[in-house]
């Protein structure tokens, strides 16, 4: 990966979602594996660092699950992608209908949880599911930071590589 395409590290100490205090795991030698591993690691770290978040997914513009960091309480992976894609489409349709400008995020508030969907790049989406008590302002801020951090590396090449590698369910 060229330095200009690298995922920019945050200023917090980096830990693996697998072992507290450990660096991201070493990758096998398959092409693109380093970038895929790094991308999944960033998603897992996001999920693990935010209280109440139990599911983080990146969905392509056509509704295909590209990457996911899910806790044990997260729903089946085949459900999240079409729901996130559908919510985004409804948000854009509502914005068009009312000439309200660009959709910033789509939020679905339920009795016991929330689902927030934001655009990343080229129509890709970041979907985050969290407990109802999750601080929405912190979640929104952290989602914006994540989109800025990974948006420039979610190229057509990486999306293709993510599709080729089975997106881990957790």
pLDDT of residue 32: 63
Q: What are phi and psi of 168, to 5 degrees?
A: -65, 145
Whether 19 is covered by a domain: the verdict is: no
Whether 16 is covered by a domain: the verdict is: no
- Please, what is the Cα angle at 137 between 76 and 155, to 5 degrees? 55
**Structural domains of the chain, count:** 1
* Cβ atoms of residues 48 and 40 within 8 Å: no
CATH number of the domain encompassing residue 92: 3.30.450.30
Chunk the chain into consecutive blocks of 10 residues (it has 170) and report each block's average pLDDT, rounded to whole numbers. 38 38 44 78 94 93 88 80 92 93 92 94 89 95 92 78 62
Whether 5 is covered by a domain: the verdict is: no
Whether 10 is covered by a domain: the verdict is: no
Cα–Cα separations (whole angstroms), residue 154 to 30, 57, 94, 120: 19, 13, 27, 8
pLDDT of residue 13: 37
Tokens of 131: 């407990």
* Cβ atoms of residues 112 and 131 within 8 Å: yes
Mutual angle of helices 136-150 and 33-49, in 10-degree steps: 170
* Structural domain boundaries enclosing 125: 28-164
Whether 95 is covered by a domain: the verdict is: yes
What b/e sequence results for 56-77 when a residue is b if at least 16 CB atoms lie within 10 Å of its CB, and e otherwise?
bbbbbeeebbbbbbbeeebeeb
Whether 17 is covered by a domain: the verdict is: no
Whether 146 is covered by a domain: the verdict is: yes
Whether 69 is covered by a domain: the verdict is: yes
């Amino acid at each position: 990966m060229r330095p200009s395409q690298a995922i920019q590290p945050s200023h917090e100490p980096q830990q693996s979602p697998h072992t507290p205090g450990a660096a991201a795991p070493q990758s096998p030698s398959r092409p693109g594996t380093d970038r895929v591993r790094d991308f999944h690691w960033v998603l897992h770290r996001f999920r693990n660092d935010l209280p109440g978040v139990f599911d983080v997914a990146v969905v392509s513009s056509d509704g295909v699950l590209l990457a996911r960091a899910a806790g044990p309480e997260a729903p089946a992976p085949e459900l999240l992608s079409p729901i996130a894609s559908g919510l985004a489409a409804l948000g854009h349709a509502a914005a068009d209908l009312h000439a309200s400008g660009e959709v910033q995020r789509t939020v679905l508030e339920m009795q016991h949880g929330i689902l927030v969907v934001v655009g990343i790049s080229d129509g890709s989406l970041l979907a985050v599911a969290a407990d109802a008590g999750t601080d929405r302002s912190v979640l929104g801020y952290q989602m914006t930071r994540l989109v800025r951090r990974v948006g420039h590396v979610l190229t057509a090449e990486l999306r293709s590589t993510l599709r080729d590698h089975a997106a881990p369910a957790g």
